[in-house]
């Protein structure tokens, strides 16, 4: 199962402008590449506002309200909406969250959760327009990253 071969690691930090940046590494434990549709995943260009991430103030044990928008997607997806995770390899990206009202001297946890809407075993070149038109031929599955910890001092 392709979904179980993907592991998401988060490394959050505060950048020089005071924004929360999340360095994301997605690893593939399969020997073969996995190609995925990036929609509503940490790889989505709009991941910062799509509800992909959950954040909790561990000091007060309260959820941090993150700005979230719902967007409509046109079907079928384009090839540009696909990402290949190499076999026994990883890819990295960074997501900068919108400005958040965080409290100094607090500890925050961040986790990504959602659904892989389409996964294919094999390189991106093997995904055809027929695959994109018929996402029902793709595997789906849930994802949950490990928990990233942010110390705000």
Over the stretch 96-125, which tens digit does the pLDDT of each residue have?
A: 999 999 999 999 999 999 999 999 999 999
- pTM for the model stands at 0.94
The boundaries of the domain holding residue 138 are 2-152
- Give the integer Cα–Cα distance in Å for 109 and 86: 28
**β-strand partners of 113:** 144
The structure tokens listed for 31 are: 């020997």
pLDDT, tens digit (0-9, with 9 covering 90-100), for 127-148: 998 999 888 779 999 999 999 9
**CATH of residue 116:** 2.60.40.2970
- Give the integer Cα–Cα distance in Å for 120 and 35: 5
pLDDT, tens digit (0-9, with 9 covering 90-100), for 22-59: 999 999 999 999 999 999 999 999 999 999 999 999 99
How many folded domains does the chain comprise? 1
Portion of the chain with pLDDT greater than 70, in percent = 99
- Give the integer Cα–Cα distance in Å for 44 and 145: 15
Contact call for residues 82 and 38 (beta carbons, < 8 A): yes
DSSP secondary structure letter of residue 102: -
């Amino acid at each position: 199962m392709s979904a179980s071969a993907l592991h998401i690691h988060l490394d959050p930090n505060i950048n020089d402008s005071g924004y929360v940046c999340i360095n994301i590494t997605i690893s593939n434990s399969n020997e073969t590449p996995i190609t995925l549709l990036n929609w509503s995943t940490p790889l989505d260009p709009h991941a910062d506002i799509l509800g992909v991430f959950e954040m909790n103030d561990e000091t007060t044990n309260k959820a941090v309200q993150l700005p979230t928008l719902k967007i409509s997607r046109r079907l079928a997806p384009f090839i540009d909406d696909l990402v290949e995770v190499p076999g026994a390899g990883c890819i990295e990206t960074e997501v900068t969250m919108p400005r958040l009202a965080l409290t100094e001297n607090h500890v925050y946890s961040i986790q990504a959760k959602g659904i892989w809407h389409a996964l294919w075993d094999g390189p991106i070149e093997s995904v055809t327009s027929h695959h994109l038109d018929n996402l029902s031929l793709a595997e789906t599955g849930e994802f949950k990253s490990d928990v990233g910890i942010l110390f705000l001092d």
